[in-house]
């Protein structure tokens, strides 16, 4: 496989790197300390990403997005992975499900999202249904001219600041998974939307984990994305791209960790030598380097499979997400150990990276769920 990038992708990489270094990194400490991105600052960052042509980079050009292929999206993700997850989100990786909006949803819903005037988040997880989407209880029932949603969601990112949510609800409980769900656009100020709480969590400070309920939440027919009972197929299509995007983020994150580790290894001395001159430390860094190279290749291979519409892209996406997430967390643990007490302190970003990396193994399909997919494919 040839992963030589054309000049325009190299320019794109430099643009994202500049945005991260100049606009995002200087805010890392403040966001971490206050566990929020100031709304005005968030707005300005999104406006800057629009100006740079980054916002909505992952959506097709036909609907107003950047029209990048998957490999180019991974290049963007790698650069974004070098800063914190909440800050990286201001660059405008939007839910891949938006690709399936109908033309009549463009003006009122999609266009303001693509211009960063409005925000959208995706809500599937429930207190009793995470990996097991079949256990989902949120129901949507047909009424004259629309639908009524009842149920609730949890662990949904930033439902406290969003304008819209894409809600996955059961519309045909008797059907198999393939025909059971429908995707609904719900405005956050719908009177049937009830925000319950921000759930305290370990990392990803600046991004909030939210729980809410839907009580007789009325929506019009025009708020359905895709077909009635056609939600599962769209979720599955979109999830491959999201997992590969995340793989790219984790690769950039691990590169950042390795950079910190290299710098520290030449600065810090123990027993009269630089850490970098101790064989034990060299082995640690060599292991991270190899796993990182393997993650990189898996993520590129998965992106290439999507771009060439290969039938094995789903498994390629699972391999990439699983391996890159595990590598990032292992690397964070090893680098923290290498930094000693300094790594555990808040003087360096390593403790933050350790906490942040822990979530990589859980969100958008846990590592176990990726491994189940991969194993099932082996026995197919
Ligand atoms: C940082 C972060 C952001 C998130 N943002 C969102 C969001 O914006 N919107 C949203 O809807 N959700 C979001 N989530 C929720 C996320 O999608 C779920 O956490 C994930 O799907 C796993 O579900 P669960 O946490 O309920 O774990 P469970 O499904 O309860 O699983 C518990 C454990 O059992 C394991 N397990 C489950 N089934 C099996 C099996 N068959 N075999 C082996 N092991 C198994 C799992 O891997 C896991 O380790 C987010 C999560 C995180 C961590």
Q: What is the pLDDT of residues 77-120, one digit of tens each?
A: 999 999 999 999 999 999 999 999 999 999 999 999 999 999 99
Any ligand 1 atom below 6 A from CB of 372:
yes
Q: Can you give the pLDDT at residue 178?
A: 96
Compute the C-alpha angle 226/227/229, nearest 5°: 125
How far apart are the C-alpha atoms of 313 and 318, rounded to whole Å? 9
Compute the C-alpha angle 54/56/60, nearest 5°: 115
How far apart are the C-alpha atoms of 206 and 32, rounded to whole Å? 6
User: Which among 179, 159, 155, 184 has a CA at the least distance from the CA of 169?
Assistant: 184
| Distance in Å from the first CA to the final CA of the chain | 26
Task: State in Å: Cα 361 to ligand 1 middle.
Answer: 9
Q: How would residue 3 be classed by pLDDT, with cut points 50, 70 and 90?
A: confident
Q: What is the pLDDT of residues 9-60, one digit of tens each?
A: 999 999 999 999 999 999 999 999 999 999 999 999 999 999 999 999 999 9
The residue whose CA has the least distance to atom 16 of ligand 1 is 363
Q: Which atom of ligand 1 is the closest one to the Cα of 124?
A: 11
Provide the pairing of β-strand 164-170 with 181-187. Answer: antiparallel
Beta bridge partners of 186: 165
Any ligand 1 atom below 6 A from CB of 152:
no
> Which of 35, 181, 358, 366 for mutating ligand 1's site (highest number of atoms within 8 Å of CB)?
366
pTM of structure: 0.97
Residue 337, burial from CB neighbour count under 10 angstroms (0-12, 13-18, 19+): middle
How far apart are the C-alpha atoms of 362 and 379, rounded to whole Å? 25
Per-residue CA distances from 51 to 42, 75, 78, 114 (Å): 14, 19, 20, 12
Any ligand 1 atom below 6 A from CB of 15:
no
Q: Can you give the pLDDT at residue 80?
A: 98
How far apart are the C-alpha atoms of 42 and 44, rounded to whole Å? 5
Q: Is residue 22 within 8 Å of residue 48, measured between CB atoms?
A: no
Tabulate helix, strand, coil % of the chain (nearest 5).
Answer: 55, 15, 30
Q: What is the pLDDT of residues 157-213, one digit of tens each?
A: 999 999 999 999 999 999 999 999 999 999 999 999 999 999 999 999 999 999 999
Task: State in Å: Cα 332 to ligand 1 middle.
Answer: 21
Q: What is the pLDDT of residues 121-171, one digit of tens each?
A: 999 999 999 999 999 999 999 998 899 999 999 999 999 999 999 999 999
Task: State in Å: Cα 311 to ligand 1 middle.
Answer: 26
Q: Is 215 a catalytic residue?
A: no
Output the DSSP codes for 140-155.
Answer: EEEETTEEEEEEEEEE
Beta bridge partners of 274: 269
Whether pLDDT at 380 is above 90: no
How far apart are the C-alpha atoms of 144 and 219, rounded to whole Å? 11
Whether pLDDT at 2 is above 80: no
Q: Is residue 75 within 8 Å of residue 9, measured between CB atoms?
A: yes
Q: Is 88 helix (H, G, I), strand (E, B) or coil?
A: helix
Q: Taking each helix axis from N to C terminus, what angle separates 231-267 and 279-307, rounded to the nearest 10 degrees? A: 150
> Which residue among the candidates 28, 187, 233, 364 is catalytic per the annotation?
364
What domains does the chain contain, in order, with CATH numbers? 7-114 (1.10.540.10), 120-229 (2.40.110.10), 232-378 (1.20.140.10)
Task: State in Å: Cα 156 to ligand 1 middle.
Answer: 11
Task: State in Å: Cα 369 to ligand 1 middle.
Answer: 9
């Amino acid at each position: 496989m040839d992963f030589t990038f054309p000049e325009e992708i190299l320019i794109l990489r430099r643009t994202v790197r500049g945005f991260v270094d100049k606009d995002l990194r200087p805010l890392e400490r403040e966001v971490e300390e206050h566990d929020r991105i100031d709304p005005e600052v968030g707005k300005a960052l999104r406006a800057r990403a629009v100006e740079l042509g980054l916002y909505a980079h992952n959506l097709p050009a036909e609907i107003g997005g950047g029209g990048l292929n998957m490999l180019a999206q991974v290049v963007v993700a790698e650069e974004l992975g070098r800063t914190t997850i909440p800050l990286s989100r201001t660059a405008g990786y939007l839910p891949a499900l938006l690709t399936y909006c109908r033309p009549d949803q463009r003006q009122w819903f999609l266009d303001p999202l693509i211009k960063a005037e409005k925000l959208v988040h995706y809500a599937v997880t429930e207190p009793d249904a995470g990996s097991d989407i079949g256990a989902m209880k949120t129901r949507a029932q047909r009424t004259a001219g629309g639908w009524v949603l009842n149920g609730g969601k949890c662990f949904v990112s930033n439902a406290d600041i969003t304008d819209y949510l894409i809600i996955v609800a059961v519309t045909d409980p008797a059907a198999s998974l393939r025909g059971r769900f429908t995707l609904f656009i719900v405005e956050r100020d719908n009177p049937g939307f009830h925000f319950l709480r921000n759930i305290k969590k370990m990392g990803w400070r600046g991004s909030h984990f939210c729980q809410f309920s839907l009580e007789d939440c009325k929506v019009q027919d025009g708020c359905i994305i895709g077909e009635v009972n056609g939600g599962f197929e769209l979720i599955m299509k979109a999830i491959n791209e999201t997992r590969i995007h995340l793989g790219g983020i984790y690769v950039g994150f691990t590169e950042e960790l390795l950079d910190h580790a290299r710098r520290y290894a030449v600065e810090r001395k123990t027993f009269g030598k630089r850490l970098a001159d101790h064989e034990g430390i060299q082995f640690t860094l060599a292991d991270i380097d190899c796993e990182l190279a393997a993650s990189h290749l898996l993520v590129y291979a998965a992106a290439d499979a999507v771009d060439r519409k290969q039938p094995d892209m789903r498994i390629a996406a699972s391999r990439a997400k699983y391996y890159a997430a595990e590598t990032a967390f292992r690397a964070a643990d090893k680098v923290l150990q290498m930094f000693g007490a300094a790594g555990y302190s808040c003087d360096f970003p390593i403790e933050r990276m350790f906490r942040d990396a822990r979530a990589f193994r859980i969100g958008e399909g846990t590592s176990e769920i990726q491994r189940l997919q991969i194993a099932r494919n082996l026995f197919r």
